[in-house]
């Protein structure tokens, strides 16, 4: 028996990373499914002030619409010279949601006068897992109660380059050079990125909670 886990992201490349990390954790008994595999529902606006708030908004809304255990990531790049921006606005920094090229061009322009020793930045990811601990078979009314919510955060420090490098990853990866690396995040192999990335770290921290979810379901 497997537990279906709704991985609630509309970003195809992020979804690939989330699925990859889940798979590499080798959690037996989880079947990740995407938003395209469930009936469409109205997603709530990601208007939280923090990555954690937004990750919970997404995971709660997926759980509420489907009743399935739901995992969501909210992430972004916090640039020191921009006082932590783009932060939660990372996906729409240049105005149009998910336009990676425009976001990168705007960030580069904003940092054009910032010298190398002040180009520090870090990626952050909050991953949230939400499911109901109630057993609807026993108590149908209780399915909105006893919500289990687990959140984990990951950070990946580095600096913003002066021009894009590499073809891998997504978003700001071509402009981000992780600490201690001579390559941009877009020049890393998927395995190298997962090993160090904000998302890899956050999601691996949630692995014990995911194992609890599976065990709980199997013991029903």
Ligand X SMILES: O=P(O)(O)OP(=O)(O)OP(=O)(O)OC[C@H]1O[C@@H](n2cnc3c(O)ncnc32)[C@H](O)[C@@H]1O
> Which residues are documented as binding site for substrate?
9-14, 75, 170-173, 193, 198-199
| Nearest alpha-carbon partner for 124 in 159, 77, 194, 164 | 77
Q: How distant, in Å, are the alpha carbons of 2, 9, 135, 212 from that of 218?
A: 8, 26, 12, 10
* Binding site listing: 9-14, 74-75, 170-173, 193, 198-199
Nearer to ligand X, 160 or 214 (CB): 160
Please answer whether residues 94 and 110 qualify as being in contact, where contact means their C-beta atoms are separated by less than 8 angstroms: no
> Pick from ligand X, Mg ion, none: which does 126 bind, CB < 5 to 8 A by kind?
none
- For residue 151, give the H/E element and its range: strand 147-160
> Pick from Mg ion, ligand X, none: which does 159 bind, CB < 5 to 8 A by kind?
none
In the complex, residue closest to ligand X by CB: 171
Alpha-carbon dihedral 20, 9, 101, 167, rounded to 10 degrees: 10
Which region, judged by CB under 5 A, interacts with Mg ion, from 27-35, 40-48, 79-87, 164-172? 40-48
Q: Binding of ligand X at residue 184 (CB under 6 A)? A: no
Among 46, 187, 194, 196, binds ligand X (CB under 6 A): 46
Chain mean position to CA 117? 28
Nearer to ligand X, 25 or 135 (CB): 25
How many residues contact ligand X, by CB under 6 A? 22
- For residue 209, give the H/E element and its range: helix 198-218
Among 32, 62, 154, 171, binds ligand X (CB under 6 A): 171
Residue 135: DSSP 8-state: -
Chain mean position to CA 118? 26
Beta bridge partners of 78: 86, 122
Among 123, 154, 177, 187, binds ligand X (CB under 6 A): 123
Active site residue 80: no
- Rounded CA separation 4/11 (Å): 20
Catalytic residue among 74, 100, 194, 196: 74
- Rounded CA separation 8/146 (Å): 21
Q: Binding of ligand X at residue 75 (CB under 6 A)? A: yes
Q: Binding of ligand X at residue 196 (CB under 6 A)? A: no
Residue 170: DSSP 8-state: S
Site of interaction with Mg ion (CB under 5 A): 46, 91
Site of interaction with ligand X (CB under 6 A): 9-11, 14, 46, 73-77, 90-91, 98, 103, 123, 169-173, 197, 199
Residues labelled as active-site residues: 74
């Amino acid at each position: 028996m497997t537990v279906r886990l709704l991985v609630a992201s509309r970003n195809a490349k992020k979804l690939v990373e989330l699925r990859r990390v889940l798979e590499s954790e080798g959690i037996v008994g989880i079947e990740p499914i995407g938003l395209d595999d469930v009936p469409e529902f109205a997603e709530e606006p990601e208007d939280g002030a923090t990555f954690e708030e937004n990750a919970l908004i997404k995971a709660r809304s997926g759980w509420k619409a489907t009743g399935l255990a739901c995992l969501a990531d909210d992430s972004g790049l916090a640039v020191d010279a921009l006082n932590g921006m783009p932060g939660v606005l990372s996906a729409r920094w240049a105005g149009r949601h998910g336009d990676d090229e425009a976001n990168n061009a705007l960030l580069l322009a904003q940092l054009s006068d910032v010298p190398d020793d002040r180009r520090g930045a870090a990626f952050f990811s909050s991953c949230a897992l939400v499911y109901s601990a109630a057993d609807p078979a026993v108590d149908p009314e209780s399915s909105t109660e006893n919500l289990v919510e687990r959140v984990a955060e990951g950070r990946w420090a580095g600096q913003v380059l002066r021009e894009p490098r590499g073809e891998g990853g997504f978003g700001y990866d071509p402009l981000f050079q992780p600490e201690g690396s001579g390559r941009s995040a877009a020049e890393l192999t998927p395995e190298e990125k997962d090993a160090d990335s904000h998302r890899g770290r956050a999601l691996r921290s949630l692995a014990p909670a995911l194992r609890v979810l599976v065990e709980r379901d199997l013991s029903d």
